[in-house]
């Protein structure tokens, strides 16, 4: 890489342990982690309850809502200040999230989880983009352990979440969420966290301390 890597973004399939990998990677590097904080930060910037932002995360606005927005006053829609929760939707939230991502990248030394970080920082020097995937069998096992009451719908739920993530990226950035061209590296979670961290750090030209395993 021509520029030292100071930002790593991690997109991940639902159930792939990609978020945990990102958390562990940030911890090993001693970098700041940005995950759900991006959503709550967007809510604070807009002056709406955090619960509102959590509800609409990964939910692209329905077509009739987008159509109706063209009749609203521009000052209501594009204001950077606090807004009524009726005009805080997916697009507005992701605009605020994008600003946080760009600002964090300027400071550097951070790992950003999901929320289109690879698109917000596309082409920016010093950024390294990773996509984590896993087999359906592995993802189903994770889902069933975490949501045993929905075990019979495991595959449908896993697919549905990834479809919502893809729809948001398409709507906000007009990009295909799983397009290989958006990423510097694809990681199969079957490698295990330590191997994933070592591979990512090596590819990004970073040094991470060896994990402290108990004997």
Range from 38-42, 51-55, 98-102 that averages highest in pLDDT: 98-102
Identify the band that residue 60 occupies on the pLDDT scale cut at 50, 70 and 90: low
Least confident of 37-51, 138-152, 158-172: 37-51
Q: Give the residue, 205 or 74, on which the prediction is more confident.
A: 205
Indicate yes or no: pTM above 0.85: no
State how far the Cα of 101 lies from the Cα of 41, in Å rounded to an integer. Answer: 11
The pLDDT tens digits of the residues spanning 109-129 come to 999 999 999 999 999 999 999
So what's the pLDDT on residue 207? 86
The pLDDT tens digits of the residues spanning 179-199 come to 999 999 999 999 999 999 999
So what's the pLDDT on residue 57? 66
DSSP reduced 3-state for 132: strand
State how far the Cα of 168 lies from the Cα of 156, in Å rounded to an integer. Answer: 18
Q: Give the residue, 45 or 21, on which the prediction is more confident.
A: 21
So what's the pLDDT on residue 12? 96
Token duo for residue 188: 């199969």
Helix (H) or strand (E) holding 8: strand 7-12
Angle between helices 18-29 and 193-204 (to 10 degrees): 60
pLDDT at position 88 over 90: no
With 0-12 / 13-18 / 19 or more C-beta atoms within 10 angstroms meaning exposed / middle / buried, residue 215 is exposed
Q: Which domains does the chain have, with CATH numbers?
A: 7-204 (3.40.50.300)
So what's the pLDDT on residue 40? 81
So what's the pLDDT on residue 103? 94
So what's the pLDDT on residue 89? 73
So what's the pLDDT on residue 47? 81
Identify the band that residue 213 occupies on the pLDDT scale cut at 50, 70 and 90: low
Distance, first Cα to last Cα, the chain: 37
So what's the pLDDT on residue 92? 81
Cα three-residue angle 184-105-47, rounded to 5 degrees: 125
Q: Give the residue, 4 or 58, on which the prediction is more confident.
A: 4
């Amino acid at each position: 890489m021509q520029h030292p890597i100071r930002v790593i973004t991690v997109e991940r399939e639902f159930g792939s342990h990609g978020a945990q990998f990102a958390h562990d990677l940030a911890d090993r590097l001693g970098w700041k982690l940005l995950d759900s904080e991006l959503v709550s930060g967007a809510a604070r910037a807009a002056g709406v309850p955090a619960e509102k932002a959590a509800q609409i995360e990964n939910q692209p606005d329905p077509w009739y809502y987008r159509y109706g927005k063209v009749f609203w006053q521009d000052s209501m829609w594009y204001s950077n200040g606090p807004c009524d929760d009726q005009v805080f939707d997916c697009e507005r939230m992701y605009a605020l999230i994008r600003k946080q991502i760009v600002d964090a990248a300027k400071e550097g030394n951070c790992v950003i989880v999901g929320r289109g970080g690879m698109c917000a920082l596309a082409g920016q020097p010093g950024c390294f983009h990773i996509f984590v995937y896993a087999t359906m069998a592995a993802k189903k096992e994770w889902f069933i352990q975490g949501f045993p009451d929905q075990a019979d719908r495991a595959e449908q739920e896993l697919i549905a979440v990834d479809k919502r993530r893809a729809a948001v990226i398409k709507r906000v950035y007009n990009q295909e969420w799983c397009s290989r061209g958006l990423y510097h590296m694809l990681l199969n979670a079957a490698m295990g966290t330590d191997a994933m961290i070592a591979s990512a750090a090596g590819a990004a030209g970073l040094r991470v301390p060896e994990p402290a395993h108990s004997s």
